[in-house]
């Protein structure tokens, strides 16, 4: 096993996650099996109880792990499936050590940071590095480890010490460190390539060879970062430093990344999506949602404009309190080609989301509701079509006479962390005419990731379906409503799960892909052609298929001439 540790200096958020993902992508393109581990030095057990304004989006894995959003980058870049133990926190390490101490595993010894905490860190990494993350079940050959935060932070010190010891345990030829730092140029960002003289100076003062100083300057897309690393000889360096046996010929996977990046830079037509949420001040709060939209826009050769709308600004109260924000919010909504209401928690802004859903339904604007977005679509339809004026979720109004969304019976309200319906669950399609079923390739079922405590009240579903509001996807028992579609609408879809978590740059998520197709006016043509893209938009060079979920080895990005 080869281990590559990525650390950061100067400031947090410098780009360690993208560098780690890019390094993994390059090595995978060489034919190696690569896994990734993210270490977060905070004391929380996991990211499940964080506000999105703390660390951005909470990413959900197949096994229900609620983890740092960087694991989403790893999955998207490397097209792998990680587990909750690929995210290591101080809380998890201390919890495991304390549990061992309570069980008497240390035989009466004094339990200390060194060696017990540092040993636990090393053992965790070595154990998790062997877990397969690819569909073929093969054990990884390279493990990329990202240490969150900044070197020098007090909370990072046990991990730094653990890896100081680790390099000797696994031997020099099996371990190397990438340190991501900052080179100020007028402002504190490196916006252009570094001169050779600057690289040589950094080399001298950091006690590394000049070839080990790699410049990652500002680029048009994060998907160009692996290409920058490749151009500066990082594969050749790893091959020598870690004795890697890799394919040295041109790597087909990176060629596809270059084609994808070039195509992204040449896009001319544009479509806009209104993202109506409550965490819009920080785009990282919806990181996977934005990526899923980008993947889908690229698949149809369109630039994407995301119009961020704070849902509270759409509410009538905002007209009285902040009329400028109110009118600006409605102008953004009305000028968008499609509407997206993502997941969320809490009552603030929910009425504004319902206003947006009502507008999209009446104006026949393409709409996608995810998790809470789907639940609020149910509330909106109940109020304005079924005539149940007080219809609501019991999360927001426990006393409503029409509880169209209710708390799941297995949820434990006494504990917050890890008590939701989490992880990969199966949804069965109940209709062969479902638009979303067609977008999924006429599949009978889909496996997608969930994160919710409330669900649509199944006892009331017949009232909706009698009026054309169909629950076309349900769980295995037929008790949980997973997918909604509205008849006689361009695209009005809601999903209880989070499809953005499994979207990939070259395999876009079907619900988001449908939204972008509808927003660009291409959905009906796409469905009529048997869910095939036009030659201009196709991803595949096979004569038999041009679907956006083609395998990576078959992707072909055509020229736009």
Contact assessment for residue 298 and residue 268, using Cβ atoms and an 8 Å cutoff: no
Q: Does residue 371 carry a catalytic annotation?
A: yes
d(CA 220, CA 218): 7
Q: Which of 116, 295, 452, 498 is catalytic?
A: 498
Contact assessment for residue 66 and residue 427, using Cβ atoms and an 8 Å cutoff: no
Q: Does residue 239 carry a catalytic annotation?
A: no
First to last CA, the chain: 46
The three-state secondary structure class of 5 is: strand
Give kind and range of the element (H or E) at residue 407.
strand 403-407
d(CA 342, CA 290): 10
d(CA 512, CA 492): 12
Contact assessment for residue 423 and residue 412, using Cβ atoms and an 8 Å cutoff: no
- Could you give the angle at which helices 90-102 and 118-129 cross, rounded to 10 degrees? 110
Q: Which of 57, 315, 395, 500 is catalytic?
A: 500
Q: Does residue 450 carry a catalytic annotation?
A: no
d(CA 390, CA 400): 6
423 conformational bin, left if phi > 0, alpha if psi -120 to 50, beta if neither:
left
d(CA 198, CA 213): 10
3-state helix, strand, coil in the chain (%, to 5): 40, 20, 40
Q: Which of 371, 450, 482, 531 is catalytic?
A: 371
Q: Which residues on adjacent β-strands are paired with residue 387? A: none
Q: Which residues are catalytic?
A: 371, 498, 500
């Amino acid at each position: 096993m080869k281990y590559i540790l990525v650390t950061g200096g100067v400031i947090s958020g410098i780009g360690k996650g993208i560098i780690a993902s890019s390094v993994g992508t390059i090595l995978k393109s060489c034919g190696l099996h690569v896994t990734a581990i993210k270490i977060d030095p905070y004391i929380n057990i996991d990211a499940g109880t964080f506000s999105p304004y703390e660390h951005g989006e909470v990413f959900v894995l197949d096994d229900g792990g609620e983890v740092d959003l960087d694991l989403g980058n790893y999955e998207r870049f490397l097209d792998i499936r990680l587990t909750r133990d690929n995210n290591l926190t101080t809380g998890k390490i201390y919890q495991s050590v304390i549990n061992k101490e309570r069980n008497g595993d240390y035989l009466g010894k004094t339990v200390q940071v060194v060696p017990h905490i540092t040993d636990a860190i090393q053992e965790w990494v070595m154990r998790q590095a062997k877990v397969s993350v690819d569909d073929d079940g093969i054990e990884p050959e390279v493990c990329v480890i990202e240490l969150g935060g900044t070197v020098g932070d007090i909370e990072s010190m046990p991990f730094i010490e653990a890896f100081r010891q680790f390099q000797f345990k696994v031997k020099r030829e099996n371990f190397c460190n990438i340190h991501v730092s900052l080179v100020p140029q007028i402002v504190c960002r490196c916006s252009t390539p570094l001169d050779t003289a600057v690289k040589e100076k950094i080399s001298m003062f950091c006690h590394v060879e000049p070839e080990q100083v790699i410049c990652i300057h500002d680029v048009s897309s994060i998907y160009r970062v692996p290409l920058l690393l490749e151009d500066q000889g990082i594969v050749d360096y790893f091959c020598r430093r870690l004795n890697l046996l890799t394919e040295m010929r041109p790597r087909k996977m990176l060629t596809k990344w270059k084609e994808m990046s070039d195509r992204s830079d040449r896009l001319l037509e544009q479509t806009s999506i209104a993202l109506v949420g409550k965490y819009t001040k920080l785009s990282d709060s919806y990181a996977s949602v934005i990526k899923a939209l980008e993947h889908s826009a690229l698949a149809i050769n369109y630039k994407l404009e995301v119009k961020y709308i704070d849902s509270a600004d759409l509410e009538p109260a905002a007209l009285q309190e902040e009329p400028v924000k109110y009118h600006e919010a409605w102008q953004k909504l009305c000028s968008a080609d499609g509407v997206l209401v993502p997941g969320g928690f809490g009552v603030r802004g929910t009425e504004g989301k319902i206003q947006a859903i009502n507008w999209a339904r009446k104006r026949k604007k393409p709409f996608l509701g995810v998790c809470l977005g789907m639940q609020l679509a149910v509330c909106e339809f109940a109020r304005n079509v079924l005539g149940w004026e007080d219809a609501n979720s019991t999360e927001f109004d426990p006393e409503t006479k029409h509880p169209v969304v209710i708390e799941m019976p297995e949820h434990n309200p006494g504990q917050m962390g890890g008590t939701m319906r989490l992880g990969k669950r199966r949804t069965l399609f109940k209709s062969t005419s479902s638009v979303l079923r067609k977008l999924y390739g006429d599949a009978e079922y889909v496996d997608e990731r969930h994160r919710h405590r409330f669900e649509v009240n199944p006892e009331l579903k017949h009232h909706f379906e009698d009026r054309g509001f169909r629950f076309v996807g349900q769980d295995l028992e037929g008790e949980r409503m997973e997918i909604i579609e509205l008849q006689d609408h361009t695209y009005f879809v809601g999903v209880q799960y989070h499809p953005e978590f499994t979207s990939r740059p070259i395999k876009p998520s079907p619900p988001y892909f449908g939204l972008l197709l509808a927003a660009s006016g291409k959905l009906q043509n796409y469905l009529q052609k048997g869910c095939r893209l036009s030659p201009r938009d196709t991803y595949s060079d096979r004569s038999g298929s041009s679907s956006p979920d083609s395998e990576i080895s078959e992707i072909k990005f055509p020229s736009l001439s």
